[in-house]
Amino acid sequence: MAQYRIPVEETFSWQRPVINMVEVTAPASPTKGDRYVIAGVGGDWSTATIGDIAWYDGAAWKFDTPLQGWSVYNKADDEVYKFNGSAWAALVGGAGTGDMTKAVYDADDDGIVDEAESLNDGTNTVTAAQAKEAYDRRGAFDADLGCIIMEI
């Protein structure tokens, strides 16, 4: 069976999430799609470099060497990490902190954002200029790339 992979995935600065960043050897029973940032090079990972992203294709482990600026979400500690050119470092504040938390913007837990900071200056009023700016900053979906393109 032919194996296909998005050819530019290795060049995207935002990488798909990893299970954790503390494994020193490959798990004994991986599942296709499992991803780890390698903390040690043993077993099936003996040909990799510490800091690489290991991903299991269903038959073997593959490795992507990070480039400076790559970011990845670590499921194990709910943090976002960025590669600085030599090591992975947690972003200040992490993924679960700051004023853009679910508790602030979806207080009734219905999956709909209750208020958006860019349109609410604390007075619960939105000017026409603010609404137009928010509308103008929307992106266009690019079907070829499978993502939203935004002009800033």
Residue 61's identity, in one-letter code, is: W
Whole-angstrom Cα distance, residue 102 to residue 13? 25
Question: 77 phi and psi, to 5 degrees?
Answer: -120, 10
Predicted TM-score (pTM) of this structure: 0.56
Using a pLDDT cut of 90, give the percent of the chain over it: 38
pLDDT (tens digit per residue) in 33-87: 999 999 988 889 999 999 999 999 999 999 999 999 899 999 999 899 999 999 9
Do the beta carbons of residue 22 and residue 76 sit within 8 Å? yes
What is residue 122's predicted lDDT score, i.e. its pLDDT? 56
Residues 4-19, mean pLDDT to the nearest whole number: 70
CA distance 35 to 114: 34
Distance between CA atoms of 151 and 139, rounded to whole angstroms? 7
Instruction: Assign 119 to helix, strand or coil.
Output: helix
CB atoms within 10 A of CB 72: 22
Task: For residue 36, list its beta bridge partners.
Answer: 20, 54
